[in-house]
Chains A and B, each alone.
Chain A
Amino acid sequence: MNLFIFALRNLRRRKIRTILTIAGIALSVAVLFSLLAFQAGYEHELNKEVENLGIHMLVVPKGCPYEAASLIMHGGVIPKYLNESELTKIRDIQGVSVATPILLHQFMVNGSPHILYGIESSDMLKIRPQWKIKGRFFSDDEKQVMVAGSTLAEKEGIKVGQKLSFGPNKEPFEIIGILDKTGGQEDEFHFVPLSEGQRVFNKENKITTVAVLTDDIGITGTVADRIEEIPDIQVVTMSQITGTIMNIVGSAKTLLLSMIAVTLTITAFGISNTLLMSVYERTREFGMLKAIGATSVDIGKLVILETLVVTFLGGVFGVLLALLGSGIIETFIRANVPYAPSGSLISPDPGMLILCIGLSVGLGLVCSIYPAIRSARKSPMEAMRSEIS
């Protein structure tokens, strides 16, 4: 039996204490791991989503930029509209390659929210050349036709060729295509020609936003400035959106990291306390071990090994807990965080795993040094004479 096996067997002596210590560490590690995985996943998905939008900037009515961000990321609705006349002005601005109007409107079907995405298909397809469609896309002057997002089609059991009652007057719209899965919010959208969207929901001449593609990404800033000269509108560039969202997430992350630092400190105190209690209780046993041939180094090693096993297991269980609980965490985050991208928010990687388990083991090492030295330095006589058995 080597020292490691002996340490393992020792941990079985006070099972409840060992389990509780492991659980405490596991919880702290799970929180840390989840946060790191969330941060990585969120940033990755957000960038991917913004990239998938395929546009350089959006023109929206003047207002809160967060509303604008929400609009872009979620297809949310802001109760302000641009006029089509403004679209013409934008199109005339030098450097604008494509400017395509979008009407977003939220409506309820059987109590659940649905989103209308009114677009001019020719321009939209220039922006999203990667779109693949089962069936076909509509042309701008078609009436009562619709293309459904893939998730929407799945959820509602929509098939190409089917008629769907649409809008306040329950007009029969024909499904002429289903968009292949894009992984973005558009999987949930009802796409109709802009003019049809405006007609059905009484938004004549109104558009929610104009998606703009410039001649060259390098001139986005200049073009944005030119567009902003038009009164009562504002321009939100994609980098601004990503930056704004990451700022919000970043502040939350700093706060959470501080909380984790506090949690880890509390955990460290907990480990130290448990360890000191444990070595104190075993003072006479350590004395006996020295009497039967253990050196001070052996005793110190034994204490450290026992702690490392506990903290390693705590780290592993913490990571497992985080992985198993990622679904719940993701649901929670989606319900509470604005602008959650649609892909997986939790993106763990091996580096993170090693970091979390390593941190846990490192914490154990630091916490065990004092109890180990304290136990090791006691002379066998002193230990055996101790009142503690």
Chain B
Amino acid sequence: MNIIEASDLTKVYRRGSELVHALNGVSLFVKAGDFISIVGPSGSGKTAFLNLIGCLDHPTSGTLKLNGIDVTALDERRRVLIRRESIGFIFQQFFLIPTLSARENILLPLTFSKKPVDQSRADEILELVGLSHRKDHLPHELSGGEMQRVAIGRSLINDPKIILADEPTGNLDSENADQVYRIFRDLVNRGYTLIIVTHNTELACKASRVVHLRDGMIVEPKLEPTTPML
């Protein structure tokens, strides 16, 4: 079953007096449990596409279904519910709250979903991202790699089906980047659907499928996916 069905998505926005065509008819079907990387040069529409899938933005045209639900024209209130329930976000800059510990940052989404705090779930996630020993540390006491792992943990707390990561290793050295990818692989093995936007072609190739974007369109891949790193 396709968990994501994007058909002919376009996104046009205005920058000053200029109209920018960020996406020009992108169609992508993603099965549950897929690990997809989206690559392409700057301005190719990678982030714009990820934002549409993440219900952070409306497409100008086309349709988008998540988990069988047409989310193309949903209002913000219902999109928030979709984001809460079905999508976990990971950002390049981590966006951790500096006054909250690693554990509290992971639990932060529950503040908004008003779900009861499940400490055992938090422990499980901390274990999964390898931070059980750093759970009470504040972000400034953590390394870049550890901060990104906290951010990964935060994306998992609401137990979403889809994880979206925008340049998750953009601020990390190769060792930490590898560690993050190992966690991603682990998540895929646990049944999560993962979509990653990245500039890093070497790491992108470790996904099970690579989508190339150029000028807002999907183009033929020049890279073939290699055996996923375990």
Interface residue ranges of B70-118 to A (CB < 8 Å): 76-77, 80, 83-84, 88-89, 91, 93, 95, 97-100, 104, 107-113, 117
- 8 A-B pairs closest in CB distance: A293-B84, A288-B95, A293-B112, A381-B57, A294-B112, A9-B99, A291-B89, A292-B109
- Find the A residue at minimum CB distance from B77: A295
The distance from the CB of A306 to the nearest CB of chain B, in whole angstroms, is: 12
- Does A293 contact B80, Cβ atoms closer than 8 Å? yes
Which residues does chain B contribute within 8 Å of A1, judged by CB atoms?
A: 100, 104, 107-108, 110-111, 117
- Find the A residue at minimum CB distance from B117: A1
- Does B80 contact A290, Cβ atoms closer than 8 Å? yes
CA distance A292 to B107 in the complex (A): 11
Contact of A292 with B108 at beta-carbon distance under 8 Å, contacts A9-B99, A10-B99, A13-B98 already known: yes
Q: How many A-B residue pairs have CB under 8 A?
A: 74
CA distance A339 to B107 in the complex (A): 64
- Does B51 contact A10, Cβ atoms closer than 8 Å? no
The distance from the CB of B208 to the nearest CB of chain A, in whole angstroms, is: 25
Cβ-based interface call for A254 (8 A):
no
Which residues does chain A contribute within 8 Å of B112, judged by CB atoms?
A: 289, 292-295, 298
28 CB < 8 A contacts A-B: A1-B104, A2-B111, A6-B108, A9-B99, A9-B100, A9-B104, A13-B99, A284-B93, A285-B97, A288-B91, A288-B95, A289-B112, A290-B56, A290-B83, A291-B91, A292-B83, A292-B84, A292-B108, A292-B109, A293-B84, A294-B111, A295-B76, A379-B56, A379-B76, A381-B57, A384-B51, A384-B56, A389-B93
Cβ-based interface call for B154 (8 A):
yes
Cβ contacts A1-35/B at 8 Å (1 or 0 each) = 11100100110110000000000000000000000
Cβ contacts A84-101/B at 8 Å (1 or 0 each) = 000000000000000000
CA distance A295 to B82 in the complex (A): 12
Interface residue ranges of A349-389 to B (CB < 8 Å): 379-381, 384, 389
Which residues does chain B contribute within 8 Å of A289, judged by CB atoms?
A: 112
Q: How many of B's residues come within 8 Å of A, CB to CB?
A: 30
Which residues does chain A contribute within 8 Å of B104, judged by CB atoms?
A: 1, 9
Cβ-based interface call for B216 (8 A):
no
Cβ-based interface call for A296 (8 A):
yes
CA distance A293 to B77 in the complex (A): 10
Most chain B beta-carbon contacts within 10 A, residue among A12, A289, A389: A289
CA distance A281 to B155 in the complex (A): 23
Q: How many of A's residues come within 8 Å of B, CB to CB?
A: 25
- Find the B residue at minimum CB distance from A295: B80
- Find the B residue at minimum CB distance from A293: B84
- Does B109 contact A381, Cβ atoms closer than 8 Å? no
Cβ contacts B138-171/A at 8 Å (1 or 0 each) = 0000000000000000110010000000000000
The distance from the CB of B8 to the nearest CB of chain A, in whole angstroms, is: 20
The distance from the CB of A335 to the nearest CB of chain B, in whole angstroms, is: 47
- Does B97 contact A380, Cβ atoms closer than 8 Å? no
- Find the B residue at minimum CB distance from A298: B112
Option from A3, A284, A285 in Cβ contact (under 8 Å) with B111: A3
- Find the B residue at minimum CB distance from A8: B99
- Find the B residue at minimum CB distance from A383: B56
The distance from the CB of A203 to the nearest CB of chain B, in whole angstroms, is: 76
Option from B56, B77, B98, B99 in Cβ contact (under 8 Å) with A291: B56
- Find the B residue at minimum CB distance from A285: B95
Cβ-based interface call for B54 (8 A):
yes
Which residues does chain A contribute within 8 Å of B155, judged by CB atoms?
A: 292
Contact of A381 with B51 at beta-carbon distance under 8 Å, contacts A292-B108, A295-B112 already known: yes
The distance from the CB of B179 to the nearest CB of chain A, in whole angstroms, is: 22
CA distance A19 to B99 in the complex (A): 16
- Does B111 contact A291, Cβ atoms closer than 8 Å? no
The distance from the CB of A232 to the nearest CB of chain B, in whole angstroms, is: 78
- Find the B residue at minimum CB distance from A9: B99
CA distance A294 to B110 in the complex (A): 10
Which residues does chain A contribute within 8 Å of B117, judged by CB atoms?
A: 1
Which residues does chain B contribute within 8 Å of A288, judged by CB atoms?
A: 89, 91, 95
- Find the A residue at minimum CB distance from B98: A13
Which residues does chain A contribute within 8 Å of B76, judged by CB atoms?
A: 295-296, 379
- Does B83 contact A291, Cβ atoms closer than 8 Å? yes
The distance from the CB of A373 to the nearest CB of chain B, in whole angstroms, is: 14
CA distance A13 to B138 in the complex (A): 12
Which residues does chain B contribute within 8 Å of A389, judged by CB atoms?
A: 93
Which residues does chain A contribute within 8 Å of B91, judged by CB atoms?
A: 288, 291, 384
CA distance A30 to B76 in the complex (A): 44
CA distance A295 to B81 in the complex (A): 9
The distance from the CB of A377 to the nearest CB of chain B, in whole angstroms, is: 10
CA distance A42 to B176 in the complex (A): 71
CA distance A10 to B100 in the complex (A): 9
Interface residue ranges of B165-190 to A (CB < 8 Å): none
Which residues does chain B contribute within 8 Å of A284, judged by CB atoms?
A: 93, 95
Which residues does chain A contribute within 8 Å of B110, judged by CB atoms?
A: 1
Which residues does chain B contribute within 8 Å of A292, judged by CB atoms?
A: 83-84, 88-89, 108-109, 112, 154-155
- Does A293 contact B83, Cβ atoms closer than 8 Å? yes
Given A1-B111, A291-B83, output 18 extra A-B contacts at Cβ < 8 Å. Answer: A1-B104, A2-B111, A3-B111, A10-B97, A284-B93, A285-B95, A289-B112, A290-B83, A291-B56, A292-B84, A292-B88, A292-B108, A292-B112, A293-B112, A296-B76, A298-B112, A379-B56, A389-B93
